[in-house]
Amino acid sequence: MTVPVFEPWNDPEAKPLIQFQNVTKRFGVFTAIDDLSLDIYEREFFALLGPSGCGKTTMMRMLAGFETPTEGKIYLSSQDIAPVPPNKRLVNMMFQSYALFPHLSVWENIAFGLKRENRPKHDIAERVDEMLRLTRLEKFARRKPHQISGGQRQRVALARSLAKAPKLLLLDEPLGALDKKLRQDTQFELMDIQEKTGTTFVIVTHDQEEAMTVASRVAVMDNGKLVQVATPDRIYENPNSLYVADFIGDVNIIDGTASPSGQDQYSLAWKDGLAPLNVSSTQSFSEGQSCHLAIRPEKVTISAEEPTGADNAVPGRVLDIAYLGNISTYHVELPSGAVIKAQTANTRRIARRAFTWEDPVWLSWTATAGVLLAD
């Protein structure tokens, strides 16, 4: 059985649920969002990722209706939403602070939005109970928000924002207040709920791991602009810029000048006295163009003997070892003084580890392991 791949962004026929068209938002002289266009599709779990102050929260507040774009238009199901006030939008938001009403019980919090629609009492009760079941909060229905734990509050906030079955659910740093273990469990719970309800989720986060885990696509933002919008694996493996490569995960950046050496092959001169590196890249570079090679530490192999047949191999000396339990990161100093990080999985017990401080080692990687990026 083959599962159809969910990627409406590659389907030219698909109609986006949300469209940002050349949206600009200014606060006084400060430009928070700068001429930004973006399509988000139905049933997507879309992550807006960036450092604080990059404009991701402003994007979300414009979708919720708390801010209006200074220029440009935002469409929800092909309808311009600028004139629609927040309470009339088929969009619900889960707030960063959860914003649970402290004077209402968990049950009343979840029912709050439903009661505004003047639904019959019976319907409301049924829907609230359904939400309580979905978020496993049945036991806490009568408690007040201050009588439950942080993780439970987070689930109440989620249940409350899902209760009205919105077309679009906005999540503003939803897991920020939880500790790491609970956060990881909750990430999978979120994905599960998103799949079950079929709601389109847009999540704002500054935690790249969280974005990579939950999202179908990630938009990396910087200074009010989208730097790259792609699936998590493409963002990680094929960053389109130094900014994205550096922002997502750990990376070695090697500066040098490229010269073509074959079909999609380049040789990168990077340090005097060292052999140029062999890199393949589908992006073309001209002779002598300065560029950066971004290579993930886990794609660099560390060995005691000089490897044979490797595309690139450099000698060095172990400078530092970061032992994280499951993996170790070796900081290897090259004769030129540059430091390259190499990561290996600790498949053996630590007592039998092959390398220690000051050991001479060889680092090697294939021509396709890294990405060549222009300035």
* Cβ neighbour number for residue 260 with a 10 Å cutoff: 15
Interface with other proteins in residues 238-277 (CB under 8 A):
none
Residue 58 C-beta: closest distance to other proteins, Å: 14
Using the minimum distance from each CB to other proteins, give the nearer residue, 43 or 144: 144
**Positive or negative: CA dihedral 291, 341, 226, 196:** positive
Q: For other proteins, how many residues bind (rule: CB under 8 A)? A: 24
Crossing angle of the two packed helices 180-197 and 150-162, in degrees rounded to 10: 20
DSSP label of 153:
H
DSSP label of 178:
S
**Does 117 engage in binding with other proteins (CB under 8 A)?**
yes
What are the backbone angles phi and psi of residue 272, rounded to the nearest 5°? -60, 140
**Does 362 engage in binding with other proteins (CB under 8 A)?**
no
Q: What whole-number distance in Å separates Cα of residue 20 and Cα of residue 4?
A: 27
Q: Name the residue type at position 29.
A: V
Q: In 3-state terms, what secondary structure has residue 181?
A: helix
What is the contact mask toward other proteins in residues 86 to 115, using x (rule: CB under 8 A)? Answer: xx---xxx-xxx-x-xxx--------xx--
Q: What is the DSSP string of 272-314?
A: TTSPPEEEE-SS---TTEEEEEEE-GGGSEEESSPPSS-SEEE
Using the minimum distance from each CB to other proteins, give the nearer residue, 103 or 352: 103
CA distances from 191 to 27, 50, 97, 234, 273 (A): 34, 21, 20, 20, 51
**Does 85 engage in binding with other proteins (CB under 8 A)?**
yes
Using the minimum distance from each CB to other proteins, give the nearer residue, 79 or 97: 97
Residue 65 C-beta: closest distance to other proteins, Å: 8
Interface with other proteins in residues 42-71 (CB under 8 A):
64-66
Residue 44 C-beta: closest distance to other proteins, Å: 21
Interface with other proteins in residues 120-179 (CB under 8 A):
146, 160-161, 164
What is the contact mask toward other proteins in residues 281 to 300, using x (rule: CB under 8 A)? Answer: --------------------
Using the minimum distance from each CB to other proteins, give the nearer residue, 5 or 30: 30
Among 15, 73, 116, 142, binds other proteins (CB under 8 A): 116
Binding site residues, other proteins, CB under 8 A: 64-66, 85-87, 91-93, 95-97, 99, 101-103, 112-113, 116-117, 146, 160-161, 164
